[in-house]
Structure 1
Amino acid sequence: MKTVIVVGYSAWDLIFPLAETPPPDSKTEVSPMVTCGGGPAANAAIALSKLGARVRLVSVMSDDAFGRAHLTELETAGVDVSLIRTAAHSRSPLAVIRVDPRSGERRIYWERGDLPRYDPAGVDASWLAGADLLLCDSHEAPAAAVLAFAARRRGLPVVLDAGSVKAGVPELVAHCTDVIGATGFACALNGIADQREALRRLRGQGPLRVGTTFGRAGVLGLDGDGFRYVPAFVTQVVDTTGAGDAFHAGYAWSLAAGGGFAASLRCGAAVAALQCRAYGGRAGLPCATEVETLLAHGSYRDDAPPILPPRRG
């Protein structure tokens, strides 16, 4: 069993399906209404635990009702919560997520709440003892950088789920072995529009392997052997909430087990595709057997945009 340390953001989600925007002064019944924990790091932690990894989560949570419910959800999923810091008398980050039932695509409306950041001074490199990999999101970059620096010196893979360019993220990038960003991250970080050139420049900033996810259009990666493209798998798409978080969990799980770059990209794509089969950022998360079955027998989508290479089997 591999051990993964996950650092980053935890929130509480309210998710509902709604195809059309209702008129003013109306009331609309929606079903199902799903409430559950969320946030890139917390979602990835639960995904990794379901895949069979031993997981410790480094995050900040409120002591309000949402925070307490989320902590219980993490513990029930088998995540080690001993490194979570609880901020008293604070408000949990909340996200209201509207899902289009026709496509599964979601729109997120969120508030961070008033949680403090994880104090980098309270981060201890000894937390890495026994770890096989470190996975970070971009929300707690200063704290993550402390562990990333120590992990890379120890020869551990350090994976960054790069959602957006926030304070401390450029410095964190330099300590990571793997940076897989959301659409637009590499371009925003480097101030250019060309996706491929942005990945080349991103790889020149320290990581060994970089990539950009394009949702249902797949993922484009770059390592020392050149560009690699993995299409998205064909699955039922009910709700895309948490698909990116699931991708990074699958990628990290494969990498921690010794998987190569291409194999880890495919594993991430498989976990992401399976997560989309149910409402909520966690309800569709697969076990290892389901992932292995999709990898062995699944088929790829064939609708990549022009910026990406043609489909590969």
Structure 2
Amino acid sequence: MDKESQILGMIQRNPFISQREIADELDLDRSAVSGYITSLIKSGRIKGRAYILPEPKGVTCIGGAHMDRKAICRETIQYETSNPVTMTETCGGVVRNISENLGRLGVFVSLISTVGDDKEGEWVIKNTGKYGVDTSQIHKDKKQTTGTYTALLDKNGNMAVAVADMNIYEQLTVPFIMQKWPHIAQSSLVVLDTNLPEQTLFYLTERCKLENIPVIVDPVSTIKSKKLMKSLTGIHTILPNKEEAETIAGMEIHGLEDCKEAARKIHGFGVKNVIITLGSQGVFASSGQEAVHLPAFQVKTVDVTGAGDAFAAGYLFGLSEKKDFVQSCQYGLALASLTLQTGLSVYPHLTAGRMTKLMEENECVSI
């Protein structure tokens, strides 16, 4: 292939590539590259450099994007033997699920993560981007395989056990995030999950705090929530379930009064808003100034996987629409209830109108 054709191919793949980048890639002088580009313009094969317009500020989600595998037992689970199951595969990852929900709701959202340079990674990128999520910041790692999460559910849709291969996320280092900072700096909100390494979480929370970018964090699991203990100061909102809240607050939770005390302790670490998700009992939400218990909407549960991610996305939708704290939580409950009724991690018929209608039909109860 001649140099002109090589340069044309590089420009087609990245219209904003610089002459210096082309020169380095092809081992040419920049003046030679300039000559080839002039020739391409004169021949009509390119029309000149494009102009980059600033992107609108939106939500940037940083963390896990992987394959979710769910095995639903057809009968009562029998341990230490084989169980007949129905197996499904979907895209997964806490912030990936959040970003897809937001994309379906029409929110400008991007996802920063890493996948393997394999068919699973390509599938995750394709099936995330088609719902309006900017996936241009996802890195393909040639040395790692795409992460996987496998859950065993009982016949009622409740999780019995789950296993995860998330080694690839160790590549989401501080230097990697620094390279992405020009993109992150344009965010109205940054959403993190604890699939990120501990040092990366600390760097992101500290830098976002310095640059006045609100940070929302999903702790993901009780084990991974321990990574947050040095990174809590300045967080806008944290979204733990009961067990994760117990780990972070260092106490057991047996009722709403315990939720109130746990929230008080987490506020003491420097977190502005604390929302403890309680499964079928709804959520306990505290802003420091007000505390409310919001009951879950009454629906027939098919599968609980993805409901917490859906709540987070609904809450973020409320924030992006400039709704108040309690209203934003109500959006979260509405979206979670829709997701509970499907066997997928993201409700496939999601619209802002459908979520809003369901939200408006329910009221909160203050305590």
Q: Does TM, scored on the shorter chain, surpass 0.5?
A: yes
Aligned position for 1:308:
none
Per mean C-alpha deviation after superposition, the further-off stretch among 44-53 and 15-24 is 15-24
Residue 246 (str. 1) matches residue 310 (str. 2): yes
Q: Which of residues 55, 61, 72 is equivalent to 2:109?
A: 55
Q: Could you state the TM-score of these two structures normalised by the residue count of structure 2?
A: 0.74
Amino acid of the structure 1 residue aligned with 2:228: V
Spell out the pairing of 1:82-231 with structure 2 (5 A cutoff).
82-102=136-156, 104-115=157-168, 116-124=170-178, 125-140=181-196, 141-163=198-220, 164=222, 166=224, 168-193=227-252, 194-231=258-295
Q: Which has the higher helix share?
A: 2
Q: Which residue, 208, 214, 237 being the options, matches 2:301?
A: 237
Q: Name the CA distance, whole Å, in 1 between partners of 2:80 and 2:176.
A: 48
2:128 paired residue among 56, 74, 82: 74
| Match 1:259 to one of 315, 323, 326 | 323
Partner in structure 2 of residue 277 of structure 1:
341
Cα gap change, 1:148 to 1:126, in 2 (>3 Å)? farther
Seen in structure 2, the aligned counterparts of structure 1 residues 223 and 238 have a Cα distance that, compared at 3 Å, is: same
Instruction: Give the counterpart letter for 1:109 in structure 2.
Output: A
Q: 2:100 aligns with which of 29, 33, 46?
A: 46
SS of the equivalent of 1:15 reads strand
1:101-137 per-residue CA deviation (whole Å, 9 max, x = no partner) reads 43x3223422325313301122243223442211111
Q: Distance in 2 between matches of 1:24 and 1:121?
A: 44
Q: Is the 8 A contact 1:246 1:272 kept in 2?
A: yes
In the TM superposition, residue 215 of structure 1 has moved relative to its aligned partner by: 1.0
Larger Rg: 2
How does the TM-score come out when normalised to structure 1? Answer: 0.86
**Contact 2:59–2:190 (8 Å) recurs in 1:** yes
Secondary structure in structure 1 of the residue aligned to 2:187: coil
RMSD between aligned residues: 2.5
Alignment length (residue pairs): 300
Q: Which residue of 2 aligns with 1:290?
A: 354
Q: Distance in 2 between matches of 1:240 and 1:284?
A: 15
Distance 2:166 2:205 in 1: 26
For the residue of structure 1 that corresponds to 2:134, the secondary structure is coil
Q: Which ranges in structure 2 are unaligned for 5 or more consecutive residues?
A: 1-55, 253-257
Q: Report sequence identity in percent.
A: 24
Aligned to 1:10: 65
2:173 is matched by which residue type in structure 1? Answer: D
Q: Which of 7, 17, 20 lines up with 2:76 in the alignment?
A: 20
Query: Higher relative CO (CA 8 A, sep ≥ 6), structure 1 or 2?
Result: 1
Equivalent residues of 1:231, 1:312 under 8 A apart: no
Gaps of 5+ in 1: 301-310
